[in-house]
Structure 1
């Protein structure tokens, strides 16, 4: 109330407000206020000082309000202005959304305007509210909806491919929850093998359909095998029909839950024989007297058996896994390159003589056989290493003539042509091989000839050539 007791608000009327105060009120309750004439000419522009994006609208003063609108908004403004003018003094119209494209204002700059009469001279006040935050939110919602639809479409395509692949596979697969051991899903081949329809597999317990041959929880056994470094199939019997099967588990996590992908293979007689052979090969690898080492193409050790650990006097295979085989070969990378390149080219290499040493042991003479194996897209190498240090003690030392021959060959460098040096080297190597064969066979010429791949007559010719026949032999 006033000091005289009169009310400020009486029957919807308000007291007179100073122009500067009215401008502040307008800018506080709206983002922009535009006073226009009945023809649309801009008389005044009031902009909220907190909204910098509307400052360019000050340039509309004295111009037609339509010049600051986009083409589609001009028609909307004219229709709404005409409706407001036809309503007379008490006419009310709904607010209208217009897009500005004036000056530095973005062409897509939406503003919601409401129409208000402010005087008898026909002036109209347009109070505008910035819709840009709403438009940005709508754009984000549209983008999120589009992304969601794309994800749904990709998920549907993935589900379709997955189901086609599962049904087209001849092998039996089931997905099993580690938590409760129940089958989540399986293909038709699994249903036929387990004696159930495919639609009846979900929610059925794998232990209800298969009985492990060994005592213990089937799901726990599968989980343990899936997590082990050297997983082996789990043998079981199908309760329906008592058919022996082999369960091959693979563990993974999906949506925070651990799952088992179990491949079910029927154990036919051929499969049983194959499994028995695999077990024998594993036993040979573990208990065989020869050292066996598997490496990748670069020579890094993947696994090694007890024979290799005994050869280099190492307590555990963890001490050699991940290390290069060159660390244990006497000539290092030279030996490895010769072995791997020849094995990769021919598939295998036999009887390569070198020496092997451990971190704390002296070199031992060995013979190495290398084999190249395909492991999917990669290639690995298997090395069988035999200790021949004891056998060398039985053999006599090489003939001094051979050493002299090698020295004589080396002395030829610089004084003879390469062709002459190669010829002399060939003679020296040939003589050494014949001497070694004769010694290994204890002077049995027939056996020596077979060892060298020569006929008996050719061997005698070469013995005579290098002066290796005694007078009795000549006689």
Structure 2
């Protein structure tokens, strides 16, 4: 962006003396360097007294080339800035990293201008550590928000499941308007079998209550009280219910949660059909493998899909065998699965392999749960073949673990050297993605922010699948 200069500098500022100009420059920059035409430091100023102590060998800077005082990857940027200053081009800010006394290099944002007919230059630098710390806090705050959002979404999901599966009619009524805002499927028995006759209608007018005085009493209780207990009501068809309700608040609004308990002698909900045989048939005919074992992992039953994966011609031949004979690259793999299952009682998407009796391993995902009592539980496993998925030809363990739990699951199945390399890849990819996001996908600026050369950044972009092979977006390079 072009510099917006003073319109009449001589009239508005006059002829500034050198000491006044030096004070102004030092006051507006964290570090200011006076350079000769060859880029050698002739003088310097720091806004804070502690800043030169944090940088390496600042007492030796005067008389040395500016390029020699910075990190190696920043030297080419200094050369470009000095060339632009000599050509009297509009100065641009570039990130320069200076070696620190201890710890990582200190990032600065530098700009250079030429004075006195190209014989001298002035470089002005701003310390970027405060901005980097703010960016880190922003990232951490975003991660906290995402975790809280995920937690709230899980809570809402559990509430929805409970609300939908509850066998008794439940209504949620707006305390201000007395309109029904939500009803569970069981509430359809209160009307003609359709929830459309309840949601959005006034309560209790939407119910076919045969006694007007009872309806008026319920409406009065809603307005005057925060709780309704054991309110008996009869519908027009003779069915009787006991109404209980309470007031709760959500954000700035108030709602009533109303539960209708059918009187046992008046109305009986239709019994659900016996689905045991259909469930057994589903398990046997499913495309995924279903396996039932005892608490030690000895096979009790397996469906046809698992027998096919394990290349077993008859279940009777292997009944009682531990299933780590087929599941996992080794017994350690299956022991890790059992340990997690005993601690959590259920798990899902556990990556493993099934080793067939006659062929090569097949990549699978395993979901499992403990069944029965704590004292003597059985274990149920669902084994899904993922070898034919798109991208399934990728080498084993090429996927990058993105959480501590995924890393724990890989312990015992992947060498420590590969775990360390993959964890490093995670951090490196996250940093590159964050830099591209902060710079609006300007890859040249992102490379400077990360302290990389442009060529190194392109190599890493191709490696992580963030750019097409051969893509060099030169139009966006500074």
TM-score (norm 2): 0.45
Q: In terms of Rg, which structure is larger?
A: 1
TM-score (norm 1): 0.46
**Bigger helix fraction:** 1
